[in-house]
Structure 1
């Protein structure tokens, strides 16, 4: 709880990849190529299912926990280099920047809560052109355990001094929904990452929208209409 028992100002936490910027399939391709370089032929469908986790959890998911962990850093570095080649081609989803500004205009503190590397978060943050309303941002390097663990969500809340009961999370994967739920936040799911409506709802999403623009259009009937304080 905040000092002297005062309620914190509401926080709107946003995942980045697949939620605000169209990157999930590029991440899938980059991980596929990085894994192949190290002798692992993993179907892209399996990799895509793990997108949204940090590198630690993703490699557990696609290679198993008994893998050779000594090569994890080399695989992750290869992914980062391969993905970086796409930076100049990355594009925000329609309505993403406008959504962040509309949320801030309604009194929310806007936080980017991503499991990606600090460099990757910086690259996509620049595309959003909304720094004036983004109060904080996290990356996978800020915590020991990434999504679906709640650590990143909790770190994002701490960055702006917000409590779970005063916050909402927006994401595109079941890992976002699960991480938010474990941290005590409701989660709005978007379909732009390639996860189905049923999967997001089954994971616990309180609302599922087609994309950022669809959420923007119904913002005033959504959990983002206005913070309670």
Structure 2
């Protein structure tokens, strides 16, 4: 799918999906890639701690793992190492159960579907192809567009701009506390799924209105959820 660079036609409301852990089973692949990239450069960070920061943009993730007072001269090399290591998994990137049908069901109900991710542009393209729903995805916002990444609300705001809707006519679906925090800062209500490895309590604490076990459960309960129909849908 080509990445959209301009707002799409406003058809009522937009659902903004996080990607890693929300639609794609990639959180732990990123965890291994970051842990190994750090190890190769002499920084031994427990994988469990790395996991707790997946979903942030690179700068924020490295701040959390290595401290804000670190020598930032090595950040570009660390990021490049992660990207190289993660690319080895691209052939194994798969959607979470129910994710493909969830995206299509939202589009059928009149939502514009926009992906909002701290992934690189290349990673996002791989995941869109693997998801197999590129024809119903209106736009994609990535870290290439807004380098700071989550939990700053920049990616969410860019996704809103690409959808051409105000915050009150959008919903965000994510899988990490950072998703809830970023959505809240942008004024967007948020739903959560547990497939990113966070607990239900943590996602509620991050501001998510409702939390589902998986994309498949959200799909099964779609008609009773905030995603039943977009605002203004007749």
1:20 partnered with 2:23: yes
Q: Is the 8 A contact 2:193 2:215 kept in 1?
A: yes
CA deviation string 1:89-138 (max 9, x = no partner): 11101110100000001000000000011111111111011011100001
Q: Residue deviations 1:163-221, cap 9 Å, x none? A: 10000000000000000000001110100010000100111110100000000011111
Tell me what 1:73 maps to: 76
**TM-score normalised by length of structure 1:** 0.96
Give the distance between the partners of 2:211 and 2:132, measured in 1 at CA.
25
Quick check: 1:223 aligned with 2:226? yes
Equivalence for 1:4: none
Residue 85 of structure 1 corresponds to which residue in structure 2? Answer: 88
Instruction: Label 1:144 to 1:91 Cα distance change in 2 as closer, same or farther (>3 A).
Output: closer
Residue 11 of structure 1 is matched in structure 2 by 14
Q: Distance in 1 between matches of 2:106 and 2:200?
A: 23
- Cα separation, 2, equivalents of 1:72 and 1:87: 23
Answer whether contact 1:22 1:90 (CA < 8 A) is retained.
yes
Partners of 1:187 and 1:80 lie apart in 2 by 29
Normalised by the size of structure 2, how large is the TM-score?
Answer: 0.94
CA distance in 2, matches of 1:51, 1:228: 31
Q: How many residues are aligned here?
A: 223
Deviations 1:132-154 (A, max 9, x none): 11000011111142111111000
Does residue 142 (structure 1) correspond to residue 145 (structure 2)? The answer is yes
| SS of equivalent to 1:111 | strand
Q: Runs of 4+ in structure 1 displaced over 3 angstroms?
A: none
Contact 1:103–1:224 (CA under 8 A) maintained in structure 2: yes
Equivalence for 1:181 = 184
Matched, 1:64 2:67: yes
Answering whether residue 51 of structure 2 is matched by residue 48 of structure 1, we say: yes
Q: Alignment partner for residue 204 of structure 1, among 183, 207, 215?
A: 207
2:116 matches 1:116 = no
Alpha carbon RMSD of aligned pairs, Å? Answer: 1.0
- Aligned partners of 1:32, 1:96: CA distance in 2, in Å? 27
Asked if the contact 1:8–1:163 (Cα under 8 Å) also holds between the matched residues in 2, the reply is no
Shift, 1:8, TM fit: 6.7
Q: Which residue of structure 2 aligns with residue 160 of structure 1?
A: 163
